[in-house]
Amino acid sequence: MTTGDDRAAFVAALGDLLASWHLPRATGRVYGQLLLNADPASLDDLGTTLELSKGAVSTAVRELVSWGLARTIPQPGSRRLLVDAAGGFDQLLAASHARTRVFVRVLRDGTRLADDDHAKSRLTEVADFFTAYIDAGDAMLRDRTTHTAEGTHDR
């Protein structure tokens, strides 16, 4: 059985981790809390539990939704939303790939602007590296989907 202190430590650790990725610490804390919750939570509940302002929670939720790590659930007849953690790894990788594809496109477009062949080669090398990252991640997702469909990846 876990204690409230264990949960708080997990939430704090996720906040610190996401902060190391240059995301607000509050975003990581909100994500950690959502991952631990059995049910979707209101912004007010998240703020109270995490001792964060409504503005900090709202900003964190928008960031998590933009990364595909959370989803909002409108409440009929109310302006209030509930928030739930979205799946996790698959969504994070898919969101990362979407952003990386844009980055690769910009790099490839930049090759025509390069001063010389050395600069063009450097741009191409970086673009190729990130393309390989996307390809490897896509292969992991396909493998994960295949194993899950076959029932060999259940946890």
The CATH number given to whatever domain includes residue 16 is 1.10.10.10
- pLDDT tens by residue, 16-51: 998 988 889 999 999 999 999 999 999 999 999 999
Residue 35 vs residues 28, 72, 119: alpha-carbon distances, Å:
10, 14, 44
Q: Are residues 99 and 62 in the same domain?
A: no
Asked if 107 contacts 123 with a C-beta cutoff of 8 angstroms, the reply is: yes
Is the confidence at residue 64, as pLDDT, over 50?
yes
Structural domain including 65 reads 3-85
For residues 34 and 102, membership in a common domain is answered with: no
- Please indicate, yes or no, whether residues 25 and 65 belong to a single structural domain of this protein: yes
Question: What's the pLDDT tens digit per position in 76-98?
Answer: 888 889 999 986 667 777 777 88
- Count the domains in the chain: 2
